[in-house]
Structures are given as C-alpha cells and as structure tokens.
Structure 1
C-alpha cells in the first residue's frame, strides 16, 4: 500500500507551467524551496531571483518552468487541492453510508494538515499555510475569467462538485449543494486564518476545531432542510 501511495501523481493543468516541475530534480527543488520561501517571507516579497539564489540556479532556469510567480502560485494551489482530492477520494471510496461518507469528507477537507511522506518534495503543512494566507491572490486578478476558461481552477471546482454530490446523496432536496460545498472549503481556510490572526472573530480554538464547526453546520443544515 505504501508503494502504491508513493506512485500517485497529482495531475496539474499543463497550461499553468511551461515545463512540468515534477519531471526533473530541478523542478522539484523549485517547488520545494518556493514553498519554504513563500511561507517564510510571503508571496509579495518572494521573487524568482531570490529563489534562484537559494537553489543555486540561474533565475532564467526557473522561467523555463513557470512564466511568472503568479503561475507558480496557481501551480502550488492546484497541487494542494489535487492532494486533498486524492485524500478525500481514498478515505471515502469504500464507505456505503451517505452520512458517514459526507462526515468523513468534511473531516479530510477541514482537519489540521499533517505532512504526507508520499510526496517528498512538498511540505504539505507549509503549503496549507500558504493556501490559507495566499490562495485568494491566485484568483483575485483581472485575468481570472480567462484563466477559469483555460481550466486553471479545474481541480478546485472538481473538489467542490465531489463534495456537493455527497451533500445531495444525504439530502436530495437541499437546493444549495454547490454553495454549501464551496463554503466548507473556503470557510475552513478562513476559520484557520481567524484562529491565528483574529481569534475573537471565531469560536474555533484549541478545543473547538474548524472540522467540528463545519460538521455541525452541514449536518444541521441538511437535517433542518429535511424536516422543513
């Protein structure tokens, strides 16, 4: 099983990169070091020049993989959502009961992230922090509609749809499955952000996790709708 898990590859839209970073040692070092640096200094301060100095490579070699740092952020975010998708599918695939399946999915998507040894060049814990703090910068741009048409956000949308289908399986009459599913994914990021930076704006803390909150929110919503 461990060998099977290590053979899994996260597929990313090839329009995001110029050369697949997963295809070479340099590409993997670019991904690994960029995660470390963006987590440490923030996306605004991060540059390919600084990245090149850290990995001992010319700045131009990084541009052979990514057109700019925006595309790199899109790649990292897509990789993160793809990784969550594979974890959710793996965790829920053999569960026949719709309620248990949905609760398991919510748990996978909202729990505190732990590092996955299956991908040695990606620190998922730090990548999660980057997605929490920086993900909105990947789509709050003038180019978002065109990038959406080109499939840059396909993995994220697919993940929302998967969760939405699980919501419908629990309550086929619930009228807002996509809205609820996307609220869980975006809301989990927001709750973790609030917990760290604005703790008075959330009930999540050391004893109450975002997973508990969203499990309660979704189940109460679907039960209320059923009773209504």
Structure 2
C-alpha cells in the first residue's frame, strides 16, 4: 500500500500553498523540469505559465517571485533528506552506522520515491547540485534567515551534528562537518560533471558511489579517536 507524503514548509515561502491544489502541484512539477533543463537564470514565470497552459498572474498568486519558488524547491529537498535520514536511522543505535546511513542519504536521496507525483527527485537533486547555493548566497540572506527560510537546512545539519558528536564527543566542529558533508556531497558531483580538475572523483555511469566513499573517508579520518 502506498503512503502519500506531505512535506510541510515555511509559510513565508509562498502566498498560497501550491501542494494543496492541482494547479499548484502542476507549477511545482514543471518548474522543476524547466529549471533543471534551462537553469535558474533563464527560468521565468512567463515560461512556466506557457508550459502549464496558464497565466503569469495565476503563478504570482502562489509565489511572489522566482527566488522564493527556488527557495521553496530547495527547502522541499532539505526536508526530504531529513525525512529519509529519520526513517532510515529509526532503529539504528550505533552512531557510526547512523553516520554512514546519513552520508548515503546525502548522495542517494534522488533515488528514493516518496510517492509525490509532482516532484521528480532526480531532477530536483540536479537543481540542488547546480542551483542550490543561489537560494541563500544572496544580499537578502540575513533578512530571509530571520524569517526562518533556512530552518529546514539548519534542522538537517543540527541532526547530523548530533550524530557526529555521538561518534566522537571530543570533536570540536560537529556543525561545520555536518554542513560540509552535505555541501561536499553536492559540490563534488557538480565538479565531477563540469569542473573535473577541482575534484579527485569521477562519476562512472552517473553512479555516486565514489562521492560516498570519499565522504566516508573524510569522516573516518576526522572522527578517529
């Protein structure tokens, strides 16, 4: 029996909850497709309206601008990864095994299927890899942070930092390592695909196992007592 998953996000990201209507879900689905295909800079509400056979005005009833739409999508992904980690570590006691599962979740979240037909996890993962930093590397980051727009990301890294501290209570930088593991999981894939001189890994047949191995290597070295 399939179970539909509803990802709850900060209400400040949207004017009207898109997940609650057919048109809104259509916007999410096709915005992911367009951004993944053409890039965030080339993406416009005009193009989205044409894609879903609607109007720009209807899209503006859901999202104030395309930046907030990108933030919505990236937040959805952060929450999805957190959900995967929670489910996959639910009955795991050993912190080292927990951390290994977390790292696997970072690099393989796009392979999972949450039974949400309007979100293509693989394409959304590509967006997070290539466009994700644009969601928070902005002039308005402090203002948006005060509104809680990055709470999902902070909750994700906090939960990971706690596991890191369980592995090695004396490690001084659990938050920094948690954040870097997540960012490295995405940046390493991007570099391997586009700037191979910036990384030592290669993606054979689009498999990310080498990224996972690299992250495990770093954590084992850093957290070794």
Unaligned stretches of 5+ residues in structure 1: none
2:84/2:109 contact within 8 Å kept = no
Superposed displacement of residue 141, structure 1: 1.2
Change (3 A) 1:82 1:62: same
Q: Deviations over 1:163-191 (max 9, x none)?
A: 00000011111000000000001111110
Aligned counterpart, 2:131 = 134
Q: Does 1:19 align with 2:16?
A: yes
- When normalised by structure 1's length, the TM-score is 0.94
Q: Deviations over 1:64-105 (max 9, x none)?
A: 000000000000000011111101110011101111111111
Aligned counterpart, 2:104 = 107
Aligned counterpart, 1:124 = 121
Q: Does 1:211 align with 2:216?
A: no
Unaligned stretches of 5+ residues in structure 2: none
Alpha-carbon separation, structure 2, partners of 1:19 and 1:182: 31
Q: Deviations over 1:191-226 (max 9, x none)?
A: 000110012321211366211100110111100xx2
Aligned counterpart, 1:56 = 53
1:209 aligned counterpart, secondary structure: helix
Superposed displacement of residue 112, structure 1: 6.6
Paired residues in the alignment total 221
Alpha-carbon separation, structure 2, partners of 1:85 and 1:74: 16
What stretches of structure 1 move > 3 A for 4+ residues in a row? none
1:115/1:123 contact within 8 Å kept = no
- When normalised by structure 2's length, the TM-score is 0.95
Alpha-carbon separation, structure 2, partners of 1:24 and 1:86: 23
Aligned Cα root-mean-square deviation (Å): 1.2
Alpha-carbon separation, structure 1, partners of 2:90 and 2:103: 14
